[in-house]
Amino acid sequence: MSTLDDQTRLLLDKLAETPFPDLTAMEPEEMRSAHAAFYASVGLPSDPSLAESRDLDVPGPDGPVPVRIYRPRGTSWDPLPLLVYFHGGGMVAGSIDSYDAICRMLSHRAGAVVVSVGYRLAPEHRFPAAVDDSYAALKWAVENAAVIGADPARTAVGGDSSGGNLAAVVAQTARANEGPHLVFQLLVYPAVGTLGHSRSMARFATGYMFGRDEYDWLYEQYLPDPADARDPRVSPIVADLAGLPPALVITAGFDIMRDDGEAYAQRLREAGVPVVLRRYESTIHAFLSMAAVLDAGREAIEECAAALRNAFTGGR
């Protein structure tokens, strides 16, 4: 078994001395503020010089869905590839603002228009609100590609953690609905559900910042009925995976969701979907959002951008 890298170990030691607040005991808005404050302290700062942005509300199934649209600075108005990105946060936290730095970097490094989606959060808005908002935002982005300077023929979806869940689910939904056509899916330590064979779920249940108690609590907030966990729109790992777009799946070596994410990659392969699986052996869940203190986070952002560039050029 690999060992934690020095940066991750130092972060966990500091958290042990000054524990991460118990978000499960807070009211939703207090919880989201504490979540945002922590990741702001360890995440990369936003760099407006990388990409310009504008905020819009787009039509959703139950009202407007906020999005932030990024375009690399210094580019002409020729259509660029399109990435629709869904933030992490366990379906209960995270926001467009908390992912501003990551989305600016992806836009700049991938040479793409990025549409970051502010889907509705639980427990105020339970499943399938986030899925419905996310798919509506994807459809809007593709249908309005000319307006935002994007090329609808080069569209990808992406996300991390719960956002990785949404990216996987939206890709399956687009396949079932015969559109929009996607060329790629970027799945970063995605919450894909489980087939019940995960060793990492037990091995890393405590002591690695995001554990089994938090995992179970998040599902309780998100699902109106525990039986919904068997729905492919909650657990994309149980779906038929044939005919999905190529994928990059990134996992973390010390993450309870590692084995399920890797099982999803294997199931994609078995279904004939081209997949690159990359495990960052020596770090923990959410490391992209801690890239100011973890080199692995910056490396992974660069890997994501390179994979997107490759997908958008057809592997050339």
Q: Which fold has domain 6-312?
A: Rossmann fold (3.40.50)
Structure letter (DSSP) for residue 19? P
> What pLDDT score was predicted for residue 183?
98
Q: Give the residue from 47, 54, 91 showing the smallest Cα distance to 71.
A: 54
Active site residue 285: yes
How far apart CA 252 and CA 300 sit, in angstroms, is: 11
For the stretch 46-51, contacts whose Cβ atoms lie closer than 8 Å and that sit 24 or more positions apart, written own/partner, are 46/100, 46/101, 46/104, 47/101, 47/104, 47/105, 48/104, 49/73, 50/104, 50/105, 50/107, 50/108, 51/103, 51/104, 51/107, 51/108, 51/114
Consecutive H or E run containing 66: strand 65-72
Question: In this structure, what token pair is assigned to residue 81?
Answer: 């590839």
Catalytic residue among 133, 255, 259, 260: 255
How far apart CA 121 and CA 123 sit, in angstroms, is: 6
> What pLDDT score was predicted for residue 316?
46
Catalytic residue among 35, 87, 108, 285: 285
Q: Average pLDDT for consecutive 10-residue bins of the chain (316 residues)?
A: 93 88 86 95 97 98 98 91 98 98 98 98 98 98 97 98 98 96 98 95 95 95 96 98 98 98 98 98 98 98 98 79
Q: Is 271 exposed, middle or buried (0-12, 13-18, 19+ CB in 10 A)?
A: middle
For the stretch 215-222, contacts whose Cβ atoms lie closer than 8 Å and that sit 24 or more positions apart, written own/partner, are 215/256, 215/257, 217/24, 218/90, 218/91, 218/92, 218/162, 221/90, 221/91, 221/92, 221/122, 221/123, 221/126, 222/90, 222/91, 222/92, 222/122, 222/123, 222/126, 222/127, 222/130
Catalytic residue among 161, 162, 235, 289: 161
> What pLDDT score was predicted for residue 77?
81
> What pLDDT score was predicted for residue 233?
98
Active site residue 35: no
Domain boundaries, the chain: 6-312
> What pLDDT score was predicted for residue 1?
64
> What pLDDT score was predicted for residue 272?
98
Residues 171/245, Cβ–Cβ less than 8 Å:
yes
